[in-house]
């Protein structure tokens, strides 16, 4: 069960975050800002997706970004026992 926001220690979590993870987060935020700059503001239920992921050599350029629903972007096959993930996300 997820931790309730009032019970989380955000300062401890931020101190534990590695520089590589911080950079990844900044890259994702910059990608959304760049997309919104050219296409206008997006609703919170929409996420900016990389057509070719950064881990596979993709970039934050406008031609590699698309707006898709949060549900579609965060979904993967959960047909395993107990609704667990099958394969990679």
Residue 53 counted as domain residue: yes
Residue holding tokens 């970004």? Answer: 65
Per residue in 38-82, pLDDT (tens digit) is 888 888 888 888 888 877 888 888 888 899 988 887 766 666 666
Residue 35 counted as domain residue: yes
pLDDT-based confidence at 88, cuts 50/70/90?
low
**Over 70: is that where the pLDDT of 29 sits?**
yes
Domain residue limits at 22: 8-72
pLDDT-based confidence at 2, cuts 50/70/90?
low
pTM for the predicted model, two decimal places = 0.59
Residue 28 counted as domain residue: yes
Tally of structural domains, the chain? 1
3-state secondary structure at position 49: strand
Contact indicator for 38, 50 with CB cutoff of 8 Å: no
Buried b (16+ CB within 10 A) or exposed e, 48-84: bbbeeeeeeeeebeeeebeeeeeeeeeeeeeeeeeee
Residues facing 68 on adjacent strands: 47
Query: How many residues make up the chain in this entry?
Result: 89
């Amino acid at each position: 069960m997820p931790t309730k926001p009032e019970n989380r220690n955000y300062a401890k979590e931020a101190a534990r975050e590695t520089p590589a993870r911080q950079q990844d987060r900044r890259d994702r935020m910059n990608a959304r800002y760049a997309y919104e700059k050219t296409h206008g503001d997006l609703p919170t239920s929409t996420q900016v997706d990389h057509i070719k992921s950064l881990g596979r050599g993709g970039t934050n350029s406008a031609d590699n970004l698309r707006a898709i629903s949060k549900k579609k972007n965060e979904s993967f096959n959960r047909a395993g026992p107990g609704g667990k993930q099958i394969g990679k996300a």
